[in-house]
Amino acid sequence: MTGLVLLGGCSATEPPPVDPAPGTVPRAGAPTPDSGSAPIGCPESGVRISSPGSSAAMGLRALGLELVNCGTQPYPLNGYPVLRLHDGDGNPIPVRVINGAKGITSGFDAPPRPLILRPGERAGAAVLWRNLVDDPTVVATNGERLEVAPAAGRPEQVVGLDGPIDLGNTGRIGVSAWTKSADPPATPTGPRPDTSQPGGPGSSSPVPPLL
């Protein structure tokens, strides 16, 4: 009898459980939202690096790079992309990376400027090289895989290529400084040998057209 009384007392004071409305309670094991975390599909670093394409003319090659702040926080950027090149077997290729394009072409030596990319904003840069074979005793080099970091010490990302980085046997590659882009860059059409500052603030593509 005592047990029945207690049970009746509990049922009288505690209402039956109510099923929550759909979508109001996360399923077991589901991650909880975090306002500071990167959105789904965005790298943990908060930025995504890709290439809008490449171009070639008279042995001169140009590959555009695009960095997008896909995260939720402002992203500081200053300096040059850091490049790492691999062959078709995944082996690192020893190559001299030049900040700017001295000895390769002109018009890409504008110094870096500090940037702050708000979420959704973009920055661009250009990778430049020449396909030259001037020493028949040295095997020509083709880069099949490119890893790019926004700056030294930051995480690298693999950038898809639309063709090999055919360095010949020059053993060097140039890269311009990051500059903020006003619009998503179009596929680059190659470098232009002039003294202007291509890819400067407000440009829509990191690589100006070939002449």
Q: What percent of the chain has pLDDT over 90?
A: 52
Least confident of 54-58, 78-82, 99-103, 122-126: 54-58
Torsion of CA 24, 26, 28, 34, to 10 degrees: -150
> What's the pLDDT band for 201 if we cut at 50, 70, 90?
very low
Whole-number pLDDT of residue 72: 97
User: Domain 47-181's class?
Assistant: mainly beta
Read off the pLDDT of each residue in 93-102 and give the average, rounded to a whole number. Answer: 93
User: Whole-number mean pLDDT of the chain?
Assistant: 78
Read off the pLDDT of each residue in 62-76 and give the average, rounded to a whole number. Answer: 97
Read off the pLDDT of each residue in 199-204 and give the average, rounded to a whole number. Answer: 39
Domain ranges of the chain: 47-181
43: number of Cβ within 10 Å: 13
Cα-based distances in Å from 96 to 23, 109, 129? 54, 16, 11
Q: What is the residue whose two structure tokens read 């082996």?
A: 91
Is residue 93 over pLDDT 80?
yes
Residue-wise pLDDT tens digits, 102-153: 889 888 889 999 999 999 999 999 999 999 888 888 888 899 999 999 999 9
pTM: 0.69
Whole-number pLDDT of residue 70: 98
Residue pair 79/177 in contact (Cβ under 8 Å)? The answer is: yes
Read off the pLDDT of each residue in 80-108 and give the average, rounded to a whole number. Answer: 93
Half-sphere exposure (CA, 13 Å, Cβ side) for 25? 6
Burial of 35: CB neighbours in 10 Å, binned 0-12, 13-18, 19+:
exposed
How many residues appear in the chain?
211
